Amino acid sequence: MNIIGFIAGVALAGGWVQRLRCHAICNEASSDYQLLRDRLEWYAIMKSCSAEKYTYLPKKDLNFNPTGMLLSARQHDILLGTLKKIETKSTAVAVISIFLATLIAGALDDPNDVSYLRILTLYLALSFLSVMLVVAVDGAGHLGQRHYRSLRFGGCIRGQGVGAPIMGRELQRALMHDLLKKEASFDAMIQIGGLAMLAIGLAFVL
């Protein structure tokens, strides 16, 4: 029965992945290809030295139509580089937390361990590490085609899409928001990781 459940899970997950892939790439005449061209064009404009930069940070207002970017081309390059660095660091912390969680799970299987406080402390550390993994998964996403489509056609402000004149500006704002979110997630992972290490240290003392 266990192997049947495993095969069923693989089949369901694999089928869902294939469905999403086919929806994205199987129809070249679909609007996704045009949206991808538009998104890449905006990215190119953001990296262009001729990109106009606002002298102040405009609010997210659909009625404010003048074109312009929130960052200069150099600032945009630094933004992308910082995003890559924070994603790499978050991945490293997630790998370490998986390793520690595996060790703790093995320690909890010890039938000779009768210390209630030690077991409780190890479960506390395991819970901290589990939260770290959830935070890592939540922060691992990137601004892809689905986000661009939502930003372009709706779901931004009162269900309205962002018009073409300010699409680049709002796309860049989304990248800045993504960096702030991932940095906050990384800070949370480090702090929770510190609590997990403290709990593991206490488990060896008790």
Q: What angle do CA 97, 103, 107 make, to 5 degrees?
A: 140
Residue 63 has pLDDT above 70, yes or no: no
**pLDDT computed for residue 56 by the predictor:** 53
Q: What's the pTM value of the predicted model, to 2 decimals? A: 0.73
> Residues 17-44: what's their mean pLDDT?
70
- Give mean pLDDT, residues 190-198: 89
Cα separation, 188 vs 198, whole angstroms: 15
Within the chain, residue ranges assigned H as helices are: 2-25, 31-47, 73-108, 116-139, 145-153, 167-205
* pLDDT > 70 in the chain, percent: 69
Highest mean pLDDT range out of 19-33, 133-147, 160-174?
A: 133-147
pLDDT of 33 reads 73
Query: Residue 87 to residues 62, 90, 141, 144: CA-CA distances in angstroms?
Result: 31, 5, 9, 15
Average pLDDT over residues 4-21: 70
Q: Residue 157's pLDDT is what?
A: 44
Looking at per-residue pLDDT, the higher value among 196 and 114 belongs to 196
pLDDT at 158 over 50: no
Phi, psi of 59 (to 5 degrees): -75, 165
Give the orientation angle of helix 167-205 with respect to helix 145-153, to 10 degrees. 130
Euclidean distance between CA atoms 157 and 5, whole angstroms:
43
Cα angle, residue 169 at apex, residues 136 and 89 outer, rounded to 5°: 20
